[in-house]
Amino acid sequence: MSDAIRMTRRDARAAMRTAGIILAGVAILTVSAKVHVPSWPVPMTLQTLAVMAIALATGPRLATATFLAYLAAGAMGMPVFSGTPERGVGLPYMLGPTGGYLLGMLGASWSAGALARGRGTVGRVGAMLVGLAVLYGAGLAWLALFVPLARVVEVGLLPFVLGDLIKIAVVALAARAIAGPGRG
Protein backbone atom coordinates (compact mmCIF):
# COMPACT_ATOMS: atom_id res chain seq x y z
CA MET A 1 0.00 0.00 0.00
CA SER A 2 1.43 3.35 -0.94
CA ASP A 3 2.19 6.08 1.56
CA ALA A 4 -0.31 8.39 -0.15
CA ILE A 5 -3.18 5.92 0.33
CA ARG A 6 -2.11 5.20 3.91
CA MET A 7 -1.99 8.95 4.62
CA THR A 8 -5.39 9.45 3.00
CA ARG A 9 -6.94 6.75 5.18
CA ARG A 10 -5.28 8.24 8.26
CA ASP A 11 -6.58 11.69 7.30
CA ALA A 12 -10.07 10.27 6.71
CA ARG A 13 -10.06 8.59 10.13
CA ALA A 14 -8.94 11.83 11.77
CA ALA A 15 -11.63 13.79 9.95
CA MET A 16 -14.29 11.25 10.99
CA ARG A 17 -13.09 11.42 14.60
CA THR A 18 -13.23 15.23 14.55
CA ALA A 19 -16.71 15.19 13.01
CA GLY A 20 -17.86 12.72 15.65
CA ILE A 21 -16.54 14.92 18.46
CA ILE A 22 -18.26 17.96 16.99
CA LEU A 23 -21.58 16.12 16.54
CA ALA A 24 -21.39 14.76 20.09
CA GLY A 25 -20.66 18.28 21.34
CA VAL A 26 -23.65 19.70 19.44
CA ALA A 27 -25.84 17.00 21.01
CA ILE A 28 -24.51 17.85 24.48
CA LEU A 29 -25.10 21.58 23.90
CA THR A 30 -28.63 20.88 22.69
CA VAL A 31 -29.49 18.73 25.70
CA SER A 32 -27.92 21.31 28.03
CA ALA A 33 -30.12 24.00 26.45
CA LYS A 34 -33.26 21.92 26.94
CA VAL A 35 -32.60 21.43 30.66
CA HIS A 36 -33.77 24.82 31.79
CA VAL A 37 -35.69 26.84 34.30
CA PRO A 38 -38.10 29.06 32.40
CA SER A 39 -37.31 32.72 32.89
CA TRP A 40 -37.49 35.83 30.77
CA PRO A 41 -35.78 37.33 28.86
CA VAL A 42 -32.96 34.77 29.24
CA PRO A 43 -33.63 31.16 30.31
CA MET A 44 -31.49 29.43 32.95
CA THR A 45 -29.85 26.37 31.38
CA LEU A 46 -26.93 23.99 31.81
CA GLN A 47 -25.20 25.47 28.76
CA THR A 48 -22.44 27.22 30.69
CA LEU A 49 -21.48 23.86 32.14
CA ALA A 50 -21.51 22.24 28.68
CA VAL A 51 -19.57 25.07 27.02
CA MET A 52 -16.85 25.04 29.66
CA ALA A 53 -16.60 21.24 29.76
CA ILE A 54 -16.28 21.04 25.98
CA ALA A 55 -13.68 23.83 25.98
CA LEU A 56 -11.55 22.08 28.60
CA ALA A 57 -11.96 18.62 27.06
CA THR A 58 -11.30 19.52 23.42
CA GLY A 59 -9.31 22.75 23.40
CA PRO A 60 -10.08 26.03 21.65
CA ARG A 61 -10.26 24.87 18.02
CA LEU A 62 -12.64 21.94 18.50
CA ALA A 63 -14.69 23.78 21.13
CA THR A 64 -15.14 26.73 18.78
CA ALA A 65 -15.92 24.45 15.83
CA THR A 66 -18.47 22.63 17.97
CA PHE A 67 -20.20 25.82 19.02
CA LEU A 68 -20.17 27.14 15.45
CA ALA A 69 -21.83 23.88 14.32
CA TYR A 70 -24.40 24.31 17.10
CA LEU A 71 -25.11 27.88 15.97
CA ALA A 72 -25.35 26.74 12.34
CA ALA A 73 -27.88 24.06 13.30
CA GLY A 74 -29.90 26.68 15.16
CA ALA A 75 -29.65 29.19 12.30
CA MET A 76 -31.02 26.53 9.93
CA GLY A 77 -34.11 26.25 12.11
CA MET A 78 -33.29 23.12 14.07
CA PRO A 79 -34.77 23.40 17.58
CA VAL A 80 -31.43 23.22 19.41
CA PHE A 81 -31.78 26.33 21.58
CA SER A 82 -33.50 26.70 24.92
CA GLY A 83 -37.23 27.20 24.52
CA THR A 84 -37.25 26.22 20.85
CA PRO A 85 -39.44 25.70 18.97
CA GLU A 86 -41.95 27.32 21.36
CA ARG A 87 -40.08 30.67 21.47
CA GLY A 88 -39.18 30.61 17.78
CA VAL A 89 -36.37 29.07 15.75
CA GLY A 90 -33.63 30.06 13.36
CA LEU A 91 -32.18 33.50 12.90
CA PRO A 92 -35.15 35.33 14.47
CA TYR A 93 -34.51 33.43 17.71
CA MET A 94 -30.78 34.12 17.49
CA LEU A 95 -31.45 37.83 17.03
CA GLY A 96 -33.65 37.92 20.14
CA PRO A 97 -32.65 38.63 23.75
CA THR A 98 -30.43 35.56 24.06
CA GLY A 99 -28.42 36.28 20.90
CA GLY A 100 -25.60 37.99 22.75
CA TYR A 101 -25.27 35.08 25.15
CA LEU A 102 -25.00 32.71 22.19
CA LEU A 103 -22.26 34.89 20.73
CA GLY A 104 -20.65 35.09 24.17
CA MET A 105 -20.65 31.29 24.45
CA LEU A 106 -18.82 31.13 21.15
CA GLY A 107 -16.17 33.48 22.56
CA ALA A 108 -16.10 31.54 25.83
CA SER A 109 -15.53 28.30 23.91
CA TRP A 110 -12.36 29.69 22.43
CA SER A 111 -11.07 31.72 25.39
CA ALA A 112 -11.65 29.08 28.07
CA GLY A 113 -10.23 26.35 25.83
CA ALA A 114 -7.14 28.38 24.93
CA LEU A 115 -6.39 29.64 28.42
CA ALA A 116 -6.97 26.28 30.13
CA ARG A 117 -4.44 24.36 28.03
CA GLY A 118 -1.72 22.82 30.15
CA ARG A 119 -3.03 24.38 33.35
CA GLY A 120 -3.84 22.84 36.68
CA THR A 121 -7.14 23.21 38.47
CA VAL A 122 -6.62 26.83 39.52
CA GLY A 123 -5.54 27.81 36.01
CA ARG A 124 -8.54 26.03 34.48
CA VAL A 125 -10.88 27.82 36.88
CA GLY A 126 -9.27 31.12 35.91
CA ALA A 127 -9.68 30.26 32.22
CA MET A 128 -13.35 29.45 32.73
CA LEU A 129 -13.87 32.70 34.66
CA VAL A 130 -12.40 34.62 31.72
CA GLY A 131 -14.74 32.66 29.44
CA LEU A 132 -17.65 33.54 31.70
CA ALA A 133 -16.69 37.23 31.54
CA VAL A 134 -16.65 37.01 27.73
CA LEU A 135 -20.04 35.30 27.78
CA TYR A 136 -21.61 37.90 30.08
CA GLY A 137 -19.96 40.83 28.29
CA ALA A 138 -21.52 39.90 24.95
CA GLY A 139 -24.78 38.76 26.53
CA LEU A 140 -25.38 41.88 28.59
CA ALA A 141 -24.41 44.24 25.78
CA TRP A 142 -26.90 42.54 23.43
CA LEU A 143 -29.59 42.27 26.10
CA ALA A 144 -29.45 46.07 26.52
CA LEU A 145 -31.18 46.28 23.13
CA PHE A 146 -34.24 44.54 24.62
CA VAL A 147 -34.32 45.58 28.28
CA PRO A 148 -33.99 49.03 29.83
CA LEU A 149 -30.32 49.64 30.57
CA ALA A 150 -31.01 50.11 34.28
CA ARG A 151 -32.37 46.55 34.45
CA VAL A 152 -29.82 44.69 32.31
CA VAL A 153 -27.67 43.49 35.21
CA GLU A 154 -30.76 42.69 37.27
CA VAL A 155 -32.30 40.40 34.63
CA GLY A 156 -29.24 39.28 32.66
CA LEU A 157 -26.55 38.66 35.29
CA LEU A 158 -27.74 38.47 38.88
CA PRO A 159 -30.13 35.51 38.45
CA PHE A 160 -27.42 33.47 36.70
CA VAL A 161 -24.02 34.27 38.17
CA LEU A 162 -24.16 32.03 41.27
CA GLY A 163 -25.38 29.07 39.22
CA ASP A 164 -22.70 29.67 36.61
CA LEU A 165 -20.00 29.79 39.27
CA ILE A 166 -21.27 26.48 40.64
CA LYS A 167 -21.22 25.00 37.11
CA ILE A 168 -17.61 26.13 36.71
CA ALA A 169 -16.73 24.48 40.03
CA VAL A 170 -18.39 21.24 38.88
CA VAL A 171 -16.44 21.28 35.60
CA ALA A 172 -13.19 22.03 37.44
CA LEU A 173 -13.74 19.19 39.91
CA ALA A 174 -14.68 16.78 37.12
CA ALA A 175 -11.60 17.78 35.10
CA ARG A 176 -9.42 17.25 38.15
CA ALA A 177 -10.96 13.83 38.82
CA ILE A 178 -10.45 12.79 35.20
CA ALA A 179 -6.86 14.04 35.20
CA GLY A 180 -6.11 11.81 38.17
CA PRO A 181 -4.21 12.35 41.40
CA GLY A 182 -1.35 14.82 41.24
CA ARG A 183 -2.18 15.83 37.65
CA GLY A 184 -5.07 18.25 38.27
Q: What is the pLDDT of residues 139-161, one digit of tens each?
A: 999 999 999 999 999 999 999 99
Cis, peptide link before residue 92, omega less than 30° from 0: no
pLDDT score at 83: 86
Q: What is the mean pLDDT of the chain?
A: 92
Q: Is residue 111 part of a domain?
A: yes
Domain that includes residue 58, residue range = 3-179
Q: How confident is the model at residue 179 (pLDDT cuts 50, 70, 90)?
A: confident
Q: Is residue 12 part of a domain?
A: yes
Q: Is residue 32 part of a domain?
A: yes
1/111: higher pLDDT? 111
DSSP 3-state of 35? coil
Q: What are phi and psi of 87, to 5 degrees?
A: -95, 15
Q: What is the pLDDT of residues 37-80, one digit of tens each?
A: 766 667 689 999 999 999 999 999 999 999 999 999 999 999 99
Q: Is residue 104 part of a domain?
A: yes
Q: How far is the first Cα of the chain from the last one, in angstroms, to the nearest whole number?
A: 43
Contact (Cβ atoms closer than 8 angstroms) between residue 32 and residue 26: no
User: For residue 6, with 0-12 CB atoms within 10 Å meaning exposed, 13-18 middle and 19 or more buried, which class applies?
Assistant: exposed
CA distance 105 to 131: 8
Residue 3 pLDDT exceeds 70: no
Q: Is residue 27 part of a domain?
A: yes
Q: Is residue 184 part of a domain?
A: no
Q: Is this structure's pTM higher than 0.85? A: yes
Q: How many domains does the chain have?
A: 1
- Tell me the CATH number at 137: 1.10.1760.20
